[in-house]
Amino acid sequence: MVVPSKVKTGHLDDIQELRRVQPSVVPERYVRENEEQPAQSMVCTSLEVPVINMQNLEGDCGYQELARLTAACQDWGFFQVVNHGIEEGLLDAMEVVAREFFMLPLEEKEKYPLAPGTIQGYGHAFVFSEEQKLDWCNMLALGVEPTFIRNPKLWPTKPENFSETLELYSAKVRSLCQRLLIHIAQTLGISSETFNQMFGEAVQAVRINNYPPCARPDLVLGLSSHSDGSAITVLQQDTACVGLQVLKDDTWVPVKPLPHALVINIGDTLEVLTNGKYKSVEHRAVTNQDRERLSIVTFYAPSYDVLLGPLPELVTQNEPTKYKTYNHGEYSRHYVTSRLQGKKTLEFAKIPTIN
């Protein structure tokens, strides 16, 4: 996918280097406006996102777990999955190579630059102006499947087993996404293969986020509030500290890490396909004063040439069509050329309401 490259971003710090050289400094471009500052937000630590047991979902009494999945999709748009079938050793290995990459010298990481206005490589993504507030995060973003979306020059050669591990990991996550979409279709009362058949050669990308400690976590965001443009997103987070927060009823709910669990969220694409029955949810990452945090995020979406719109089975007289039909590649271009700003990118797909 081609995106504009002539973008003026101004100076972009490497956060790890900034933290190493000036640990107490937080440049002004990272200090959020009052309403965005974590210290000004309503946070509820007593709520927890649902946990779905994939083994139960695919077992003899799957209907009980399916009911839990239905509620999770409808009420939260976020849930964690356990007993998902991806080996713990592979999850650990992926975390190790990701962490080793971020520990490399800056000059090594800069061999894989995320150029302004592009979406693959190492650096800052979704930066489109010199005035824009920045996230307290370094990231490595890579296209995975289909192979034509890859930029091989941006796949790190160090650590030596990085590419091999990512290939194995991504294949397992791809299979998990396909299984999840079968069950999500079942919760909607439609054919279980609806999404997998519709998506064609599904697009899969990975983004590995490193959130260094920050002297003022009350003032900055690790990642701006946003919803995902994907169909579903799979997130692996380390257990060092809580960083991911989900917006529910105007309150931020921390997603507490469970060892070897994976966090799943509904993306904009499923919101459109379900005609709003299941909604994508705003989420963000906050930082920690003392601890570094790592997350590995996989985005799974239809092929770029697929036409998307509400499924006819989910459009009724009481629930008329809320979203237009569009080419998924067109929406993907719109998403990756917009800064992260809540659910604003989804306005692209909405049919204006007439008052």
Separation of alpha carbons 84 and 56, rounded Å: 10
pLDDT at 9 over 60: no
Q: What percent of the chain has pLDDT over 90?
A: 66
pLDDT at 128: 60
pTM across the whole model: 0.92
Q: Considering only CA atoms, which of 298, 237, 241 is closest in space to residue 262? A: 237
Average pLDDT score over residue span 64-79: 96
When mean pLDDT is compared across 28-32, 71-75, 170-174, the lowest value belongs to 28-32
Number of helices and strands in the chain (H, E): 9, 14
Strands annotated E in the chain: 51-53, 78-82, 121-123, 138-145, 203-211, 223-226, 232-237, 244-248, 251-254, 262-266, 283-285, 293-301, 307-308, 326-327
pLDDT at 1 over 60: no
Q: Considering only CA atoms, which of 124, 155, 120, 154 is closest in space to residue 139? A: 124
Residue 353 gets which letter from DSSP?
A: P
- Compute φ and ψ for 311, nearest 5 degrees: -65, 135
Model confidence band, residue 181 (pLDDT cutoffs 50, 70, 90): very high
Q: For the chain, give the mean pLDDT.
A: 89
Separation of alpha carbons 56 and 44, rounded Å: 29
pLDDT at 309: 93
Residue 82 gets which letter from DSSP?
A: E
Average pLDDT score over residue span 90-98: 97
pLDDT in tens, 216-234: 999 999 999 889 989 999 9
pLDDT at 4: 47
Model confidence band, residue 118 (pLDDT cutoffs 50, 70, 90): confident
pLDDT in tens, 218-275: 999 999 988 998 999 999 999 888 999 999 999 999 999 999 999 999 999 999 999 9
Model confidence band, residue 338 (pLDDT cutoffs 50, 70, 90): low
pLDDT at 3 over 60: no
pLDDT at 198: 95
pLDDT at 241: 87
Separation of alpha carbons 283 and 79, rounded Å: 13
Letter string b/e over residues 110-139, b meaning 16 or more CB atoms within 10 A of that residue's CB: eebebebbbbbbbbbbbbeeeebbbbbbbb
pLDDT at 307 over 50: yes
Q: What percent of the chain has pLDDT over 70?
A: 91
Model confidence band, residue 340 (pLDDT cutoffs 50, 70, 90): low
Q: 158: which 2 tokens?
A: 């160090």
Model confidence band, residue 25 (pLDDT cutoffs 50, 70, 90): confident
CB distance 339 to 132 below 8 Å: yes
When mean pLDDT is compared across 13-17, 96-100, 334-338, the lowest value belongs to 334-338
pLDDT in tens, 101-115: 999 999 999 999 988
In the chain, what is the greatest distance between 2 CA atoms, to the nearest angstrom? 61
How far is C-alpha 213 from the geometric centre of its chain's CA atoms? Answer: 21
pLDDT at 201 over 50: yes
Average pLDDT score over residue span 133-162: 94
